Amino acid sequence: MSGADGIPLARPELGRREEELVLEVLRSGRLSLGPVQERFERAFAGWLGVADAVAVSSGTAALHLGVRRLGWGEGDEVVTSPFSFVASANCLLYEGARPVFADIDPVTLNLDPQAAADAVGERTAGLLPVHIFGYPAAMPELNELAERHGLGILEDACQAPGAVDADGVRVGARGNLACFAFYANKQLTTGEGGVLVPRSAEEAALVRSERNQGRALDMDWLDHDRLGFNYRMTELQAALGVAQVERADELLARRARVAELYTEALAELGGVQAAPGADLDGLVLPCADRGSERRSWFVYPVRLPRDADRDAVIADLAERGVAAKAYLPCIHLMPHYRERFGFRSGEFPVAEEVAERSLALPFFPAMTEEQVARVTEALAEALAGSWT
């Protein structure tokens, strides 16, 4: 089963408001460096509860500019997670800094604070926590670690707009440099695009210069007084962003509802939410919110039973018209990281075990209860024939 009958892994939620604002841009004839980008920046900053937000071409661009603002470069080491999308480590390589990986918490799948503390050494310049799958990292502990050692922090919040940390602070609003992304499968989308949350007005001005080829702060058209990049967001992307921010809370609530449906349905298959002391050998579901922590639902990842054949499950689901994806591979085991730094299997056992078992199921705001039931039934049947 495929085509119109299939259930995709993700689907952006776009409607009349997005069409209206994109058409306004097209009719204006202003496609770049215009008022809609500024409008989007103000809207996102206001929604997040911060003073400013600088729009850029991608979350990766935001991470790169954040690394530059913190001055991380040759000879510096930055402690980060091996269980993430590769951009959170690649952004360090762009400036010659070295990622130093530390293992993850088996429940939240975020950087383990004690493992991060153990990884801090003489060359450590900073921490780059990732709010993986939209669950907030342990920012109170990581901020304290950074303060104790005089380290900079760059938060990768690309999967976590709207998440809330253990102190009740929205992810990205603690005063650290923080990055968000708006790829097509994200909670809020501009197709491509990202935002860097600066720490000051001066820093915001410098980032706006660097995203635009290092153009002088007075914005003379061909006057460039620093190294910069073409990291601009287009007016068309910004128009989508304005519309998405206008209904951000609704979109997040609808994602949370789909996640709730999955958790209820998969519990009937024996799925257990990850928690301290829980049996993590079988079908493991994403952890529940704890205390003041609130997840922003990006994807719905499950860990298959230890003895299941994940590739066989993915193939079986595809035959039934259900998209699924192994999500995520460990960064340190990717070929260019192995070759460059000599990483090997077994260095970060929790991350590696999670990566070997994780599977992302179809997940988007418009999913119906019937679709969730169909995915659940297909997964049950696929698991029944997948034992290794």
Instruction: Tell me whether residue 347 is exposed, middle or buried, using C-beta atoms within 10 angstroms of its C-beta: 0 to 12, 13 to 18, 19 or more.
Output: middle
Task: Please tell me the number of Cα atoms within 13 Å of 69 on its side-chain side.
Answer: 30
What is the rounded CA–CA span in Å between residue 86 and residue 57? 17
What are the distances in angstroms from CA 337 to CA 82, 101, 243, 331, 375? 11, 11, 39, 7, 35
Closest by alpha carbon to 196, among 82, 48, 84, 336? 48
Per-residue pLDDT for 387 more than 60? no
pLDDT digits (tens, 9 = 90+) for 171-218: 999 999 999 999 999 999 999 999 999 999 999 999 999 999 998 777
* φ, ψ for residue 361, nearest 5 deg: -95, 165
Per-residue pLDDT for 139 more than 50? yes
Could you tell me what percent of the chain has a pLDDT over 90? 94
Pick the CATH number of 249-384 from 3.30.1310.10, 3.30.43.10, 2.40.30.10, 3.90.1150.10: 3.90.1150.10
pLDDT score recorded for residue 219: 63
Domain boundaries, the chain: 16-247, 249-384
Buried b (16+ CB within 10 A) or exposed e, 40-72: bbebbbebbebebbbbbbbbbbbbbbbbbbbeb
Label residue 1 by pLDDT band (50, 70, 90): very low
pLDDT digits (tens, 9 = 90+) for 218-252: 766 678 888 999 999 999 999 999 999 999 999 99
Q: What is the DSSP letter of 305?
A: P
Tell me, which fold does domain 16-247 have in CATH? Aspartate Aminotransferase; domain 2 (3.40.640)
pTM: 0.96
